[in-house]
Amino acid sequence: MFGSIIFHIDVNSAFLSWEAVYRLEHCGENLDLRETASAIGGDIAMRRGIILAKSIPAQKYGIKTGETIAEAKMKCPGLILAPPDYQLYDKCSMAFMKILRRYSDVVEQYSIDEAFVDMTSTCHLFGDPEETADRIRNRIREELGFTVNIGISTNKLLAKMASDLEKPDRVHTLYPQEIPRKMWPLPVSELFFVGPATARKLFAVGIRTIGELAAADPVWLRSLLKKQGEIIWGFANGMDISPVLPQPAANKGYGNSTTTPYDVSDLQTARKVLLALAETVGIRLRADGVRIEVVSVCIRYAGLCGEDYFPSATHQRKLKEPTNVTAEIYEAACSLFGELWNGEPVRHLGVHTCGVSKSDFARQMELFNERDYEKLLGADVAMDNIRERYGMDAAIRAAFLRENGKERK
């Protein structure tokens, strides 16, 4: 009856929701950040950085994700700000994905707070698509304390568009037959893959709604916007053939990825992100008493990259020796990134590993390598022990204490 059944599941104001739930459930606080003008922002003590997530009450003041903390404070002097806690967000994301995998084996984590789920083969076990989506939505709220939006359709594009129709804590459908009524009246700026610059070009030629874009001549659009013109014309007509790509089971590999709060366009910043990812991977490897022998890096670019559709790239390398040393994972990731990166701005980075084996064996010594890996491992283990006992912020690498070449106070 339904053909393919694809869900897009998106956490509502993820960073702020996760922070709010943690404070309510584990810190004994009574104030729910989601119900007051609040935001998650970086480098709050120095009044620098940007807004990473905001509450619905904060949104009413005109506060936007990506603007500076100073700008947000001018709009709402009483704005409550909380610093980001990426370790917490990683744990919440993993719990979120674990629930999704109870309903389907085909889950594609698109970012830290959203995923596509192919329910074609399993939806009948739980009910019709809308009933199943409600089951998932309610289960996440009851078990984890935060809310999600779920979009349902026959492909990834329409499912993603559906999940954005109205928030928070809603289920929406956007089947092909619903496109004229639900999607075409929307402003063209709300179509996936239409950024501000493209929207301005379309407005300038009289195309203001998604329906008007769908009715335009694709050949003319290509002359105006090159390859992107064809892509967004197809999107406006609900066309998308990209499959849901599941990740391997957690016990077959260890990895972490993040969608950066702003586009990364320099090597120094990219290396910091890779170090943070490598460190979380190393901590998990050592906690489970395992080593890995393959490291891979995934890059997702911020916009169109040549002729690519959903531009992304992945590169991997087999190490000489299995390891769970953070420095080795990080160095391999940096090397792979250097070989892979084309210089375009990056919005998403991932470090993944495989080739898992138990770490109960001696490392083979290398004749011309004088690096003391046992000493590096000992330092990692010491940091792990301190963090386990006193919290993740008890031991922080010096690289994360510096910003723009200056020591943070």
Catalytic residues, which ones? Answer: 114
Q: Which two tokens stand for residue 239?
A: 């066309």
Q: Which residue bears the tokens 């960073």?
A: 15
Measure the CA–CA gap between 85 and 234, rounded to whole angstroms.
39
CA distance 351 to 276: 10
- Phi, psi dihedrals of residue 283, rounded to the nearest 5°: -60, -45
Check: CB of residue 330 under 8 Å from CB of residue 287.
no
Residues sharing a CB contact under 8 Å with residue 295, sequence separation 6 or more, in sequence order: 316, 317, 319, 329, 332, 333, 336, 351, 352, 353
For residue 370 the two structure tokens come to 């004088």
Rounded-to-integer distance, Cα 252 and Cα 25, Å: 32
| Contact (Cβ atoms closer than 8 angstroms) between residue 144 and residue 96 | yes
DSSP string, 140-202: HHHHHS--EEEEEESSHHHHHHHHTSS-SS-EEE--GGGHHHHTTTSBGGGSTT--HHHHHHH
Nearest 5°: CA angle at 145, between 139 and 149? Answer: 65
Strands 346-354 and 253-264: antiparallel
Distance from first CA to last CA of the chain, Å, rounded?
61
Longest dimension (CA), the chain: 70
Contact 351, 256 (CB under 8 A): yes
CA distances from 87 to 66, 93, 216 (A): 21, 10, 46
Phi then psi for residue 314, to 5 deg, are: -135, 145
